[in-house]
Amino acid sequence: MRVAVEISTPVHATESESKVKKALECIFPSVQFFPDGNVFKGKSEEIKSLERFRELLKSQKIRDTANTILKNSLFGGELEVHLNKQAAYMGKVNFSEDSPLGPITVRLSCEDMETLITYLSSTTSEM
Q: Which tens digits make up the pLDDT trace of 7-29?
A: 999 999 999 999 999 999 999 99
- Judge whether 62 lies within some domain: yes
Q: Which tens digits make up the pLDDT trace of 32-45?
A: 999 999 999 999 99
- Judge whether 35 lies within some domain: yes
* Rama region for 6: left / alpha / beta (φ>0; ψ in -120 to 50; rest): beta
- Judge whether 127 lies within some domain: no
- Judge whether 47 lies within some domain: yes
Q: Which residue did the predictor score with more confidence, 60 or 124?
A: 60
Domain count for the chain, please give it: 1
Distance CA 30, CA 21 (A): 12
45's CB contacts (< 8 A; 6+ apart) are 2, 3, 4, 5
80-81-82-83 Cα dihedral, nearest 10 degrees: -140
Mean pLDDT for the chain overall: 93
Residue 89: pLDDT band by 50, 70, 90 thresholds? very high
- Judge whether 126 lies within some domain: no
Distance CA 91, CA 96 (A): 15
CATH of the domain at 96: 3.30.1440.10
Asked whether residue 3 carries a pLDDT value surpassing 90, the answer given is yes
